[in-house]
């Protein structure tokens, strides 16, 4: 009888385990069990892994520096999940775009830090323009917001910025920053006692909307701050706050997340108060026009600096010459302690991925995504499984963007060649001469209209 009882008890345990397995397979889990699954580590461009625990420690430190009240472990874990997801995207599939944003940010961060310190606003807010505009001085949203700080016209005028067809001071980095910090100080006075993160939320969603959210939540003190209000926030804002926190963590330690930095500060930034022709800047600084444009590639499409208080990157001696010659019309800013390196950025950033591809497949090539490209087409061109391209480049799904450099793992050596269009050429004759398909030329070069070839145009192909 005793043995029979043991058998019955064992069967009950087995039945319970089966039920649990069925629940797990169907995904019928409570929020608590769902939270128990630890997210995957972030893999940087150098191949280093950053664990979820590491991200949580950094989020906790950042929240303390912002003066946030103590959160429960469960609340902190939930927030860290979102931050960790953004950091993975920044360091992975959005690496090239993030790198470009960090390089732009190097221009403005010395000014931002000085103004933040003067306004007694936490230094983490130097990352807010990254979340808003990716540090583009002339960024424009579909809703009509513009500039580093993405001001709407009415809000800009309210804080002293002139907005008209002839002059839009939202694109003036210095003046727009002064206005933004005045607004942030006002938001901090209004929401800071509860949580400074509500100031960030209000910057995104509007102070009136966040005020209504606070009243609806019933919170009257900062005991749990932002976490108490979180579930009442608009969906977009619930994503915006962790994006800001991720940007603040990244901006503070870009090298830790695989972005190439240097300790050498061979350049300075000259804040030119009034627009000048690029040629005049080159003459005064005793540099060639080509060199000025190489250090400031966004100036290639302009004959003169496109806004007031424009920031020019120049070598140290040239920067001092320009500042001295312009007297009161220029201000000199030294770069941050670890600026993003300018030399061979793409090669350095993709070195680890290339090494991984060579080890597994024997060889690799670097492919730059063109307009109209997709992962399936790229995989077909190089006869490589899509999953291998995703794995090497940390790409989720099929999200790629124009200009993105992809490491393509191959089992045979591929040569990247360049052909210059000659008089009388068309895609058909070129493809026949090179021994490749017309579709190959169109895809690799992003050619949508084969009739619009220009004399001397470079066409890329692989053999």
Please tell me the distance from the alpha carbon of residue 227 to that of residue 63, in angstroms, as a whole number: 12
Percentage of residues of the chain with pLDDT beyond 90: 44
Q: Which of 178, 187, 186, 224 is nearest to 205 (CA)?
A: 187
- Give residue 181's pLDDT: 96
> 14 or 185: which carries more pLDDT confidence?
185
Domain ranges of the chain: 37-134+182-258, 267-333, 345-462
| Confidence bin at 29 (pLDDT 50/70/90) | very low
- Give residue 270's pLDDT: 95
Q: Which of 165, 134, 168 is nearest to 149 (CA)?
A: 134
Q: For all residues of the chain together, what is the average pLDDT?
A: 84
pLDDT tens-digit profile of 402-452?
A: 777 788 887 666 777 888 888 888 888 888 888 888 888 888 888 877 777
- Give residue 157's pLDDT: 93
The region of weakest confidence among 342-346, 376-380, 389-393, 407-411 is 342-346
- Give residue 177's pLDDT: 96
Please tell me the distance from the alpha carbon of residue 65 to that of residue 123, in angstroms, as a whole number: 9
Residues in a beta bridge with 365: 408
Overall average pLDDT of the 65-70 stretch: 85
- Give residue 116's pLDDT: 96
- Give residue 245's pLDDT: 97
Q: Which of 75, 97, 82, 122 is nearest to 241 (CA)?
A: 82
Is the pLDDT score of 184 beyond 90?
yes
CATH class of the region 345-462: alpha beta
Residue corresponding to tokens 């220009």:
454
Highest mean pLDDT pick, 68-72, 101-105, 297-301, 356-360 = 101-105
Contact 175, 147 (CB under 8 A): no
Query: DSSP string covering 306-365, please?
Result: SSTTEEEEEEHHHHHHHHHHHGGGEEEEPPPSSPBP-SSHHHHHTHHHHHHHHHHHSEEE
| Confidence bin at 338 (pLDDT 50/70/90) | confident
Percentage of residues of the chain with pLDDT beyond 70: 86
Whole-number CA gyration radius for the chain: 27
- Give residue 187's pLDDT: 94
Kindly give the residue spans of alpha helices, DSSP state H, lying in 196-350: 196-205, 207-217, 226-229, 235-252, 278-284, 289-295, 316-326, 345-349
Q: What strands lie across the sheet with 310-315, from one edge to the other? A: 310-315, 267-272, 330-333
Contact 66, 223 (CB under 8 A): no
Overall average pLDDT of the 113-117 stretch: 96
Overall residue count recorded for the chain in this entry: 463
Structure tokens at 417: 């060649």
């Amino acid at each position: 009888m005793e043995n029979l009882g043991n058998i019955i008890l064992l069967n009950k345990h087995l039945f319970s385990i089966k039920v649990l397995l069925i629940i797990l397979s169907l995904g019928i889990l409570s929020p608590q069990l769902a939270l128990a699954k630890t997210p995957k580590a972030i893999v940087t461009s150098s191949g280093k892994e950053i664990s979820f625990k590491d991200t949580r420690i950094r989020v906790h430190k950042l929240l303390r520096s912002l003066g946030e009240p103590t959160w429960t472990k469960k609340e902190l874990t939930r927030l860290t999940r979102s931050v960790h997801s953004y950091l993975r995207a920044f360091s992975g599939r959005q690496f090239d775009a993030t790198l470009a944003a960090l390089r732009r940010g190097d221009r403005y961060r010395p000014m931002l830090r000085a103004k933040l310190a003067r306004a007694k606003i936490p230094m983490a807010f130097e990352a807010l323009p990254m979340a808003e505009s990716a540090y583009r001085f002339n960024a424009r949203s579909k809703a009509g917001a513009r500039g580093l700080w993405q001001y709407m016209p009415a809000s800009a005028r309210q804080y002293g910025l002139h907005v008209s067809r002839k002059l839009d001071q939202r694109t003036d980095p210095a003046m727009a920053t002064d206005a933004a910090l005045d607004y942030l100080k006002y938001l901090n006075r209004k929401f800071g006692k509860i949580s400074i993160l509500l100031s960030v939320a209000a910057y995104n969603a509007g102070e009136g909307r966040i005020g209504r959210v606070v009243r609806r939540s019933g919170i009257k003190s900062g005991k749990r701050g932002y976490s108490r209000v979180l579930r009442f926030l608009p969906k977009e804002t619930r994503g915006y706050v962790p994006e800001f926190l991720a940007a603040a963590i990244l901006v503070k330690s870009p090298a830790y997340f695989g972005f190439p930095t240097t300790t050498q500060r061979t350049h300075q930034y000259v804040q030119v108060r009034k627009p000048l022709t690029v040629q005049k800047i080159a003459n005064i600084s005793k540099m060639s026009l080509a060199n000025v444009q190489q250090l400031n590639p966004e100036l290639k499409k302009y004959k003169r600096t496109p806004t007031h208080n424009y920031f020019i990157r120049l070598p140290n001696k040239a920067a001092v010459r320009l500042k001295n010659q312009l007297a009161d019309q220029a201000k000199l800013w030294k770069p941050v302690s670890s600026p993003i390196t300018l030399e061979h950025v793409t090669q350095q950033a993709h070195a680890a991925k290339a090494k991984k591809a060579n080890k597994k497949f024997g060889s690799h090539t670097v492919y730059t995504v063109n307009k109209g490209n997709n992962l399936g087409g790229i995989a077909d061109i190089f006869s490589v499984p899509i999953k291998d391209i995703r794995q090497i480049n940390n790409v989720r799904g099929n999200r790629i963007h124009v200009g993105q450099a992809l490491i393509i793992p191959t089992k045979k050596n591929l040569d990247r060649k360049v052909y210059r269009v000659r008089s009388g050429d068309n895609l058909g004759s070129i493809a026949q001469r090179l021994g490749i398909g017309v579709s190959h030329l169109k895809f690799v070069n992003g050619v949508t209209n084969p009739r619009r070839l220009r004399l001397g145009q470079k066409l890329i192909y692989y053999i």
